[in-house]
Amino acid sequence: MKRYFGRKTIIYLSTFFLAVTVDWAIPRLMPGDPIMNLLSRVSVRAEASEAMYGYYTKAFGLDIPVWKQYINFWIALFHGDLGTSVYLFPQKVVDVIIMAVPYSIALLVPAILLSFYTGNKFGAFAARTKILDNTLLPVGYLLTAAPYMWLGILLAWSLGIVVGIFPTAGAYDFNMAPSFSWPFIFSLIKHWFLPFLSLFLVQFGGWAIGMRNMIIYELESDYSHYLESLGAPRSLIRKYAYRNALLPQITGLALQLGVIVAGSLVTEVVFSYPGLGSLILSAIQNKDYFLIQGCFLFIIIGVLIANFFIDIAYVIIDPRTRLGMAGE
C-alpha cells in the first residue's frame, strides 16, 4: 500500500513538473508580444512609447534570458506568486483567478458528478429494456457526439431566445450588484442553468452509452449466468453487474476530466460566463503570459487532484487492484 502510493506520488509530481513547464513555455511560443499589446491600448508618442516599453519589459521580468525567466518562474511559484496580469494590469494574477474560479467550479462539479451518477444509472436501466434501448439511446449517441459549444448555442437559442425563460449571457443580471440576497441568488441560478445543462447533457449521453454497453457485457458474464442458475432474483444480479461495470467507468471519469475542463471553457465563452474559460480566452487574445500560465496551472492542479482521488477510490472499490499491490 505504502509503495503503491509512494510510486503514485512520484508519478504525480513528475507529471506536475512537466505540465507546468509546458504551461510556462506555450504562451511564450505564441507569436506577438504582450507589452506591445498593452501599449497599443494607450496612445502615446513614439519616444514615450519606447521608454514605456523598456519599463514594462523590465517590470514583467521579460528582459532577462529565457532560462533565467524559467527559474524565476519556479521560485515565484513556490512563493505563491503567479505574477501580475498584463491585460488586467496592475491586478495580481492570483486575485483575478480567485474571482473567476468559483463560477467554473459551480459549473463543473455539479455537471461532472450529476451526469456521472444519472448517466450510469440510466444506462444500466436502459440496457435490456427494449423500448428505451431503441428510442433513448440513439439520443444518447447524439448527445455525446455533440460538441459542447454547439449544444450550448442550441440551448441558448431555443430556451433563451425562442422560449425566453433563461438569460443567455453573464453570471447574474447586469443591473444587479453581488449581494447575499434572494433575488441575487435566484438570478445566479437562472444564469447558471443553461451552461450547466449543456455540459451535463453531453456528458450524460456519454456515461449512459458507456454503462449500457458495459453492463450488457457483465450480465452476459459467467458469474451472472451462475447466479441465474441458482435462481437469484434479477435485482441481485443487476446489482453485482452494475458494480462491476462501474469500474471501467471510473477510469473513464479520470480520463474525461481534462476533456470536461476544456468543454467548460468553450461553454463559458458561449454563455459569456465569467469563469476560467472566458478568462483564458481574453488572456490568450491579449497574449497575457502570466494570466494564461495561472489559469492553466489551476486546471493542471485540479485535474491532478481529481485523478488522485479517483486512484484512491479505485483501490477501495476493486479488490483486484488492492491484491495486485500486495503482490508487488
233 binds another protein (CB under 8 A): yes
> Residue 77 and residue 20: Cα distance in Å, rounded?
10
312 binds another protein (CB under 8 A): no
- Pick between residue 50 and residue 228 the one whose CB is nearest to another protein: 228
Of the candidates 33, 30, 24, 31, the residue with the CA atom closest to the CA atom of residue 68: 24
> Residue 87 and residue 32: Cα distance in Å, rounded?
14
198 binds another protein (CB under 8 A): no
CB of 265 to another protein, least distance (A): 36
Which set of grid coordinates corresponds to residue 24? Answer: 510556462
- Pick between residue 33 and residue 318 the one whose CB is nearest to another protein: 318
Task: Return the H-helix or E-strand segment holding 51.
Answer: helix 46-59
The dihedral built from the CA positions of residue 211, 214, 220 and 221, taken in this order, carries a sign that is negative
Number of CB atoms found within 10 A of residue 17's CB? 11
130 binds another protein (CB under 8 A): no
129 binds another protein (CB under 8 A): no
> Residue 187 and residue 202: Cα distance in Å, rounded?
24
Of the candidates 87, 83, 84, the residue with the CA atom closest to the CA atom of residue 33: 87
- Pick between residue 176 and residue 236 the one whose CB is nearest to another protein: 236
- Residues 202-231 binding another protein (CB under 8 A) are 221-223, 225-231
- Pick between residue 62 and residue 247 the one whose CB is nearest to another protein: 247
In the list 162, 235, 316, 328, the residue contacting another protein (rule: CB under 8 A) is 235
In the list 19, 77, 317, 325, the residue contacting another protein (rule: CB under 8 A) is 317
Q: Is the bond preceding residue 27 a cis peptide, omega within 30 degrees?
A: no
- Pick between residue 7 and residue 243 the one whose CB is nearest to another protein: 243
- Pick between residue 47 and residue 222 the one whose CB is nearest to another protein: 222
The stretch near another protein (CB under 8 A) out of 66-74, 186-194, 243-251, 293-301 is 243-251
80 binds another protein (CB under 8 A): no
- Pick between residue 29 and residue 230 the one whose CB is nearest to another protein: 230
CB of 215 to another protein, least distance (A): 14
310 binds another protein (CB under 8 A): no
Judged by CB under 8 A, the number of residues near another protein is 23
> Residue 120 and residue 245: Cα distance in Å, rounded?
9
328 binds another protein (CB under 8 A): no
Cα-based distances in Å from 139 to 130, 202, 204, 266, 317: 15, 11, 11, 22, 31
State the Rg of the chain over Cα.
24
SS (H, E, C) 100-122: HHHHHHHHHHHHHHHHHHHHHHH
CB of 326 to another protein, least distance (A): 10
CB of 236 to another protein, least distance (A): 5
> Residue 99 and residue 274: Cα distance in Å, rounded?
9
49 binds another protein (CB under 8 A): no
- For residues 275 and 103, is the Cβ–Cβ distance under 8 A? yes
CB of 128 to another protein, least distance (A): 12
In the list 10, 30, 109, 236, the residue contacting another protein (rule: CB under 8 A) is 236
5 binds another protein (CB under 8 A): no
Q: Which residues bind another protein (CB under 8 A)?
A: 221-223, 225-233, 235-236, 240, 243-244, 247, 317-320, 323
